[in-house]
């Protein structure tokens, strides 16, 4: 079964470990660079993107992670994790770096004060059945995407889920709902990639 790490520097790590364990993946926390070895995929959780990026530098995991993503490691980021997977942040805080991987520009805290946290049904391409219940918490949206990016979902006219190759990102938090279909979609991507690499 695929081994999927969760970047465990800050944020809702435990919720992702639980969601992944509900699929057929083997889930484990990843904090140090050497823990990147032996994983088939990685989740970057929600939390605070500047904090995660600064801790990633401090733990020496940012550069190795960038290299692995460039080499094709499947990654899924939720909310702050989406911000970390953006090639560009519209309004970065000072010292805020990204891992990159998706040719997109994200806007942090995009849904604004009136609407800091809310839930909405979201149709996600690739997820069969009912819409996904999207939990948005000071969520980013995607301002613009390059040609290689597939838009998987929109809310209120704004892009909230994207995929480029084996890198997946959502503005919202499927790990908080008990509905594991988005995690299952990601684990399918991880499995397909591991199979292709083994050929
Ligand atoms: N607003 C946070 C950030 O900029 C993200 C919030 C979240 O992950 N729920 O990192």
ipTM of the complex: 0.94
d(CA 154, CA 138): 16
pTM of the model: 0.97
Task: Decide: 88 in ligand 1 pocket, CB within 6 A.
Answer: no
Digit-coded pLDDT (tens) for 58-91: 999 999 999 999 999 999 999 999 999 999 999 8
Is 175 annotated in the active site?
yes
Task: Decide: 101 in ligand 1 pocket, CB within 6 A.
Answer: no
Distance 77 CA to ligand 1 centre (A): 11
Beta-carbon count within 10 A of 17 CB: 21
* Helix 13-21 / helix 181-198 crossing angle, nearest 10 deg: 70
- Structural domain span for residue 93: 3-198
For residue 105, the domain's CATH number is 3.40.50.880
Digit-coded pLDDT (tens) for 166-178: 999 999 999 999 9
Write down the catalytic residue from 16, 79, 155, 183: 79
Please give the tally of structural domains in the chain.
1
d(CA 74, CA 193): 8
Q: CA 81 → CA 33, 99, 108, distances in Å?
A: 18, 10, 11
47: exposed, middle or buried (Cβ count in 10 Å: 0-12, 13-18, 19+)? buried
């Amino acid at each position: 079964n695929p081994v999927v790490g969760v970047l465990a520097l800050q944020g809702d790590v435990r919720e992702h470990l639980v969601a992944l364990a509900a699929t057929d993946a083997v889930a484990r926390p990843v904090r140090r660079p050497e823990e990147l070895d032996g994983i088939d995929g990685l989740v970057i959780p929600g939390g605070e993107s500047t904090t995660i990026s600064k801790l990633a530098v401090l733990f020496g995991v940012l550069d190795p992670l960038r290299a692995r993503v460039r080499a094709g490691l499947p990654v899924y980021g939720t909310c702050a994790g989406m911000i970390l997977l953006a090639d560009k942040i519209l309004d970065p805080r000072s010292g805020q770096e990204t891992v990159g991987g998706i040719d997109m520009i994200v806007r942090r805290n995009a849904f604004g004060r009136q609407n800091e946290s809310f839930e909405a049904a979201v149709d996600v391409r690739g997820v069969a059945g009912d819409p996904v219940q999207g939990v948005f918490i000071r969520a980013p949206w995607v301002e613009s995407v390059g040609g290689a990016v597939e838009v998987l979902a929109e809310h209120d006219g704004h892009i909230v889920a994207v995929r480029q190759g084996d890198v997946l990102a959502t503005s919202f938090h499927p790990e908080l709902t008990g509905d594991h279909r988005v995690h299952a979609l990601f684990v399918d991507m991880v499995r397909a990639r591991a199979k292709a690499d083994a050929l």
